[in-house]
């Protein structure tokens, strides 16, 4: 994809808006919680930053897809979710404080991990003779500008005008979701031939990655002694990815729309699986409450 208003302006601005909204939901105590709940946070970070990229790499290595789509697969795996995961964690009766803490920490850490994962994917799956690569230091600065800086602005707004920030959070979330939906629609329309050509092969891989990571997240969390609420938040955190950031990296930084296709498909499917988790949690809660009410 050649540079255009969409890739050079609309995409980064929409991501910045989403990250400002995320920053408005954070306070410095969200970062301090790492010290108070190190085990839960460590399990969540392992699931997001290690387990998910490793599973993604294994799937595209075993089930060969085109090099561009393989790189795109790794890009979405390298971009943990933001405020959307916090919302789903709340709806699924999870530990929202843990979810918010993981969001806060990964927003810092992924500035450095994303260039490493993406460059590794470019080296591993790049076509013979392909010379494109993300310059690590430049990419760290670019990712920081479109993620950390807006988060810092959002946190500053929250600190200076907490009432305004809390009143605006719902609106910002809705606008952010609409932006993401609009971006997905625009990319689908522009690349519909390639998406349809690869949907049958890539769709099952994306869904398999999503479900397998969520299942393993639950097993690791429960095996580490975390309670149900903490475990379900980790399930949501490893299942929900930042599709907008992945699309920005593919289209604005790498300038390749084909690499955005896995992110588009993942963004559509992850809401279905996260919604299923929410439905299951609420159904089990009602089922548990029914005998108590009849006693």
Give the CATH number, domain containing residue 110: 1.20.1530.20
Report pLDDT for 163: 85
Which pLDDT value is given to residue 129? 39
Query: Has residue 222 got a pLDDT over 90?
Result: yes
* Spatial separation of the C-alpha atoms in residues 157 and 264, rounded to whole Å: 31
As for how many domains the chain has, the answer is: 1
DSSP classification of residue 209: H
DSSP letter assigned to residue 241: B
Q: Is residue 194 part of a domain?
A: yes
For residue 4, give the nearest of 252, 263, 174 by alpha carbon.
Answer: 252
pTM (predicted TM-score): 0.81
For 288, counting Cβ atoms within 10 Å of its Cβ (0-12 exposed, 13-18 middle, 19+ buried), the class is exposed
Judge whether 226 lies within some domain.
yes
Where residue 53 falls among pLDDT bands split at 50, 70, 90?
Answer: very high
Range of 29-38, 96-105, 124-133 with top mean pLDDT: 96-105
By residue range, what is the domain housing residue 34? 5-278
| Predicted local confidence at residue 123, as pLDDT | 86
pLDDT-derived band at 96, boundaries 50, 70, 90: confident
**Among 48-52, 140-144, 156-160, 247-251, whose mean pLDDT is lowest?**
140-144
At a CB cut-off of 8 Å and minimum separation 6, what does 42 contact?
none
> Residue 169 is inside which H or E element, if any?
helix 162-190
210 contact partners, CB below 8 Å, separation of at least 6: 239, 266, 269, 270, 273
Q: How does residue 101 score in pLDDT terms, banded at 50, 70 and 90?
A: confident
Cβ count near 78 (within 10 Å): 26
pLDDT of residue 2 exceeding 70, the answer is no
Q: What is the pLDDT of residue 188?
A: 72
Dist. CA 283–CA 295, nearest whole Å? 19
Q: Which residues of 218-256 are buried (b: 16+ CB within 10 A; e: fewer)?
A: bebbeeeebeebbbbbbbbbbbbbbbbbbbbbbbbbbeb
Report residue 1's pLDDT band, with 50, 70 and 90 as the boundaries.
very low
- The answer to whether residue 231 scores a pLDDT higher than 90 is yes
Q: Evaluate whether residue 46 is within a structural domain.
A: yes
95 domain-assigned: yes
**Mean predicted confidence (pLDDT) in 50-69:** 89
In a domain, 285, yes or no: no
Window from 158-162, 189-193, 242-246 with minimum mean pLDDT: 189-193
Region 100-124: mean pLDDT is 87
Structure tokens at 139: 């990419």
The answer to whether position 286 is within a domain reads: no
Q: Is residue 290 part of a domain?
A: no
Which residues contact residue 152 at a Cβ distance below 8 angstroms, ignoring those fewer than 6 apart? 23
pLDDT of 284 > 90? The answer is no
Is there a domain that residue 73 lies in? Answer: yes
Each residue's pLDDT tens digit, 153-172: 888 998 888 888 877 777 77
Which distant-in-sequence residues (6+ apart) come within 8 Å of 150 by Cβ? 15, 16, 17, 18, 19, 20, 22, 23
Confidence of residue 125 (pLDDT cuts 50, 70, 90): confident
Rounded to a whole number of angstroms, the CA Rg of the chain reads 19
State yes or no: pLDDT of 289 exceeds 80.
no
């Amino acid at each position: 994809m050649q540079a255009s208003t969409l890739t050079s302006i609309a995409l980064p601005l929409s991501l910045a808006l989403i990250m400002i909204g995320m920053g408005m939901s954070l306070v410095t105590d969200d970062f301090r919680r790492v010290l108070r709940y190190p085990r839960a946070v460590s399990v969540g970070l392992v699931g997001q930053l290690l387990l998910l990229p490793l599973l993604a790499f294994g799937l595209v290595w075993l089930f060969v897809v085109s090099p561009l789509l393989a790189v795109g697969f790794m890009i979405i795996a390298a971009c943990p979710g933001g405020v959307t995961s916090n919302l789903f964690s709340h709806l699924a009766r999870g530990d929202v404080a843990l979810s918010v803490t993981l969001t806060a920490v990964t927003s810092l850490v992924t500035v450095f991990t994303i260039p490493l994962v993406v460059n590794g994917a470019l080296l591993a799956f790049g076509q013979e003779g392909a010379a494109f690569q993300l310059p690590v230091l430049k990419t760290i600065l670019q990712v920081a500008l479109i993620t950390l800086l807006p988060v810092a602005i959002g946190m500053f707004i929250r600190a200076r005008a907490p009432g305004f920030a809390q009143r605006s959070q719902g609106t910002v979330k809705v606008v952010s979701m609409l932006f993401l939906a609009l971006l997905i629609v625009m990319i689908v329309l522009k690349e519909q031939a390639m998406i349809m050509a690869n949907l049958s092969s890539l769709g099952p891989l994306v869904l398999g990655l999503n479900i397998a990571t969520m299942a393993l997240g639950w097993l690791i969390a429960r095996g580490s002694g975390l309670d149900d609420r903490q475990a379900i938040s980790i399930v949501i955190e490893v299942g929900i990815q930042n599709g907008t950031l992945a699309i920005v990296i593919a289209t604005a930084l790498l300038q390749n729309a084909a690499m955005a296709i896995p992110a588009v498909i993942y963004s559509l499917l992850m809401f279905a699986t996260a919604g299923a988790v929410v439905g299951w949690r609420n159904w089990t809660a009602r089922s548990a409450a029914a005998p108590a009410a009849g006693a």
